[in-house]
Amino acid sequence: MTLRDALHAIFRRRMLMFLVPLAAVSVALLWMLAAPERYESHARFMLLPWPSASAETAFSAATGQRARADARDLETELRLLEGYRLPEQRASQLVQLIHRARVDNAGPIGRTFGSDSPDFSELNDRWEAMTRFERIPGTDLLEARFAWEEPYVAMALAETFVESYVEHREGIGAQAPNAVVPAVASGPQAGFTWDEELHAIEAQLAELELKRQHVERQAKKRGWIDTPDLGSGASDLTRLDSLYFELRSERDRLAQLYQNDARAVVEVDARLASLRRQKLASVRSILDLRGKSLADGRQRIAARRQQWAEASGSATPAVSAGTLGGSLPPLALVVKPTIPQRPAGRVDFATLLWVAIAGFFAAVLTALLMQRLDQKLTRAEDLEEAAGVPVLATIPTRKGV
């Protein structure tokens, strides 16, 4: 059989349109069966501001470095997370747990952990493949992900790492003279949660700020006519609004009844202007009160931070110079390790469907290209027969060349 005959047979029988999708789906199925079920548990960290303005000022004066967290601090913290390894005692507990899990679940495809005896080298070899640290785009949060074949092992891995790293992070300044991170004394709920009252105050401030912005937008857009939600001052503004519209209607009526009496219209216009000035003054006074509330709230936040620092035993954190971009602010765990819910890293049905669709279109495209090549081969043979000269000397045909 020549090349032309083979191409013609494949295209005529449409075998390619079935073979290519079938091969693609088969590869995806084998991948799905061979890949282990890996469950993920993740935790999130953030860098807190310094507990008080005095601590921040003292830090800046003592070190000549910045005291607030920024993108450079986050990158430094990310490198610390990536380079941290578990202590031997905690790693030993994990290795024993993984060994028991491997023995209990021996058999399924892809569930292997190396030799029968626990070994630290096996944990170290798989560490980079099973852990991932990254900064969440658009936020100041760092996320740590831990994956394993068994969900309870993934959870234990995440909890063990987080507990060990937080302890290491808080005590590194006192342990090493050239540490990168300051040792910050832990206050009430420090390190894991932020003060609930502080959260409530900040939420109130955010709500007041939104109301203030809303009032300003309405003032610019509608000239103080529309009454926004201003709390205690809303009733006064509603009364002024109703009186304003009532007088404006009276003005229109007087303008129609007394077209020749301009003095009455002027008097009503003066009263309207006076009411308008009263409304402007009322809205501005409400805005001033809101601004005072914002300032009071910020003072309360500063006071709470000072109390939090004093409760920890020291208003100024101990600082030790480093080589990775300066010392870092305190670290908080904002999302504790989550319970794994579903496998990660497996091929699901939707992926198989897309693979089949892509394989079908690839088969159609290949078939069309082969049809084009078959037509060229046929045309070349016809030219060869007509001219009596071999046109495709290197391509075998039915007659042979």
* Entry pTM: 0.40
Contact between residue 38 and residue 344 where contact means Cβ atoms under 8 Å apart: yes
Q: In angstroms, rounded to a whole number, what is the distance separating the alpha carbons of residues 295 and 333?
A: 29
Q: Residues 146-160: pLDDT tens digits?
A: 887 777 778 888 888
Lowest mean pLDDT among 1-15, 46-60, 254-268, 341-355: 46-60
pLDDT at position 184:
34
Q: pLDDT > 70: what percent of the chain?
A: 35
For 90-95, what is the mean pLDDT?
Answer: 80
Q: Mean of the per-residue pLDDT values for the chain?
A: 64
What residue type is 294 in one-letter code?
A: L
Q: How confident is the model at residue 3 (pLDDT cuts 50, 70, 90)?
A: low
pLDDT at position 48:
67
pLDDT at position 102:
65
Q: In angstroms, rounded to a whole number, what is the distance separating the alpha carbons of residues 223 and 352?
A: 60
3-state helix, strand, coil in the chain (%, to 5): 60, 10, 30
Q: How confident is the model at residue 111 (pLDDT cuts 50, 70, 90)?
A: very low
> Could you write out the DSSP letters of every residue in 191-234?
TT---HHHHHHHHHHHHHHHHHHHHHHHHHHHTT-S----GGGH
- Provide CB contacts within 8 A for 76, sequence distance 6+: 180, 324, 325, 326, 328
Q: Residues 188-199: pLDDT tens digits?
A: 333 334 445 455
For 339-363, what is the mean pLDDT?
Answer: 67
Contact between residue 57 and residue 369 where contact means Cβ atoms under 8 Å apart: no
Domain ranges of the chain: 3-32+347-387, 36-185+315-344, 196-308
50 φ, ψ (degrees, to nearest 5): -65, 150
Q: How confident is the model at residue 76 (pLDDT cuts 50, 70, 90)?
A: confident
Residues in the chain: 401
For 242-268, what is the mean pLDDT?
Answer: 63
Task: With CA atoms as reference, report the closest residue to 184 among 335, 337, 336, 332.
Answer: 332
For 41-62, what is the mean pLDDT?
Answer: 61
